[in-house]
Amino acid sequence: MFTIKVVEQSSGRPCSGKKVQVFFDGFFRGHTSSQYTDNEGEAHFDYDNGDGQVYVGSQAVYKGYISGRKVVYI
């Protein structure tokens, strides 16, 4: 399980209502279902940790190992 926190880069404020999805590296991992950030800017995923890309909307915002709580800036 991991959490993606989306933060507005210019203000440092959490972004609510943003669509977040993770595409994992590797042939068999696939991707998560889409989640929307809450009032704290957090989207919670019940998937195993691993390497992949975080998308907010249609934009890739992070590539690397995803575990625990990952903060991304848009």
> pTM for the complete prediction?
0.91
**Domains, the chain, with CATH or none:** 2-73 (2.60.40.1120)
- Each residue of 4-34: pLDDT tens digit? 999 999 999 999 999 999 999 988 889 999 9
Return the pLDDT at 36.
Answer: 98
- List, in order, residues 6 or more apart from 41 with CB less than 8 Å away: 5, 6, 7, 13, 14, 15, 16, 18
- Each residue of 26-60: pLDDT tens digit? 888 899 999 999 999 999 999 999 999 999 999 99
